[in-house]
Amino acid sequence: MQKLIKDLIQKNNTSILLIVLDGLGGLPVNGKTELEVAYKPNLDALAKESACGLHVPVSMGITPGSGPGHISLFGYDPLEWQIGRGVLEALGLDIELKKTDIALRANYATIEQGIIKDRRAGRIPTDQSRKITERLQEKIKKIDDAEIIFAPGMEHRFTVVLRFPEALPKGSASIKDTDPQKEGTPPLSVTPEIPAAERVAKVVEKLISSIATVIQGEPKANFILLRGFSQVPDIPNFGKIYGLKPLCIAAYPMYRGLAKLIGMDAPTIKGDIREEIDFLKQNYNDYDFIFLHVKKVDSYGEDGNFEGKASKIAEFDKVLPEILALNADVLIITGDHSTPSVLKSHSWHPVPILLKSPYVFGNICMTFSERECIKGELGIFPTINLMPLALANALRLKKFGA
């Protein structure tokens, strides 16, 4: 698909604004979803004049992680480009990765008598987790022949890079997560999936033991869970494929990391929706494609907080008029996956989407919700088709064939 699109690109002065409310889709509780309960008059009005539908990030019945969800939104096949979470987090934290590196995402966790009580250590404040991570860097600098690099992230998250003295063979990061993704069970053991990963796995085992010794006295963050073991892939450049100058606006490192990996400008942004919207307004005229990411919708869904997720959607709705005032030629509002609070996790359910441009039918969906979007003119479609739709509505694609 990307090769076809690249051959059809024609440049003009139109703008595309993609807003991702992370984990937007939900499921009914007492008959209504979070999106249906949220007070969102601006989103509902926008849906009436937009093309609406539902998209499927990977395939029917497949629950996507954040990486596949986003890579698909940007027009890359998530089955072809399986990018590890560790690489994305490291790039988002401004670590310049090398071919000799293995990157992994880490959570501080609370463990009692070998059992996980809280996978996120109570979402400890960022300044507190930063101090713990700095202490780890002071105490642990090298394991065997691998240099150890720690980078603090947001709340309970941090990143570890294992830097070996020479380039590692393909598959060296093929190690299973130690995070079982649920409380009430022990952490999983470090398990290499292929022989090529055994060297790295031995270093990781020693790393976990060393970290546990350093933080064992912490009241909440007394253990770590590891995910997303990965090496840097060689992925095509977003701007070159689509003929766009792209900007990423995201507070969380993982999403900046993904944007950097595909060649977007992705400066560090601190804060939440308010700060992101201010940055958008300041930089809007310098780019023709802007991706703006809102994280907390997903966070509340993962915590099982139905009301919190609905309130975050409502908070975004309040600033929507400021976004509409920018008059983007194509405005898309959607999620990267569904995170129903009733499941407390990502899910396989299709994700609601609205697309506003002068070239849609509109007047089909009366509100912005999962049920209304089923009626929409976009139908249910693979997420990978979103970029061609955006480019077509921006009049950036030539006719195919004679």
Examine the domain organization and report whether 164 and 56 are in the same domain. no
pTM: 0.80
The average confidence (pLDDT) of the chain is: 94
Do 226 and 243 sit in the same domain of this protein? no
How buried is 95 (Cβ within 10 angstroms: 0-12 exposed, 13-18 middle, 19+ buried)? buried
* Enclosing domain of residue 258: 2-82+236-393
**Directed axis angle between helix 85-92 and helix 66-73, to 10°?**
70
Assess whether 12 and 92 both reside in one domain.
no
| Model pLDDT, residue 51 | 98
Q: Is residue 401 part of a domain?
A: no
| Residue 29: inside a domain | yes
> Do 255 and 295 lie in a common domain?
yes
The confidence score (pLDDT) of residue 120 equals 94
| More confidently predicted of 12 and 154 | 12
Q: Are residues 62 and 120 in the same domain?
A: no
pLDDT, tens digit (0-9, with 9 covering 90-100), for 258-313: 898 899 999 999 899 999 999 999 999 999 999 999 999 999 999 999 999 999 99
Number of domains in the chain: 2
| Range name among 119-123, 305-309, 374-378, 393-397 with the lowest pLDDT average | 119-123
Tell me, yes or no, whether 93 and 78 share the same domain. Answer: no
Q: What is the pLDDT of residue 102?
A: 95
Share of the chain above pLDDT 90, in %: 87
Across 125-131, average pLDDT: 92
Domain presence at residue 36: yes
Q: pLDDT, tens digit, for every residue of 75-124?
A: 999 999 988 888 888 888 888 888 899 999 999 999 999 999 999 999 99
Q: In the listed set 206, 230, 254, which residue is the last one of a domain according to the structure?
A: 230
* One domain, residues 185 and 206: yes
Q: Do both 213 and 130 map to the same domain? A: yes
Q: What is the pLDDT of residue 196?
A: 93
Check residue 88 and give its pLDDT: 83
Q: What does the alpha-carbon distance between residue 49 and residue 324 come to, in Å, rounded to a whole number?
A: 13
Residue 317 contacts residue 41 (beta carbons within 8 Å): yes
> Does 310 share its domain with 328?
yes
**Residue 402 domain flag:** no
Can you give the pLDDT at residue 154? Answer: 86
37 within domain boundaries: yes
Q: Of the candidates 208, 230, 252, which is a domain's last residue? A: 230
pLDDT tens by residue, 329-371:
999 999 999 999 999 999 999 999 999 999 999 999 999 999 9
Q: Which CATH number covers residue 310?
A: 3.40.720.10
Regarding whether 203 and 158 lie in a shared domain, the answer is: yes
Contact 26, 348 (CB under 8 A): no
Q: Are residues 53 and 73 in the same domain?
A: yes
Which CATH number belongs to the domain containing residue 125 in this structure?
A: 3.30.70
- Residue 233 confidence (pLDDT) above 90: no
Q: Confirm whether 371 is domain-assigned.
A: yes
Tokens of 280: 């958008």
pLDDT of residue 160: 96
186-225 residue pLDDT tens = 999 999 999 999 999 999 999 999 999 999 989 999 999 9
- Report H helices in 149-287: 198-215, 238-242, 253-261, 273-283
Residue 303 lies in a domain: yes
Residue 288 lies in a domain: yes
Q: Are residues 318 and 220 in the same domain?
A: no
Model confidence over 12-66: pLDDT tens digits? 999 999 999 999 999 999 999 999 999 999 999 999 999 999 999 999 999 999 9
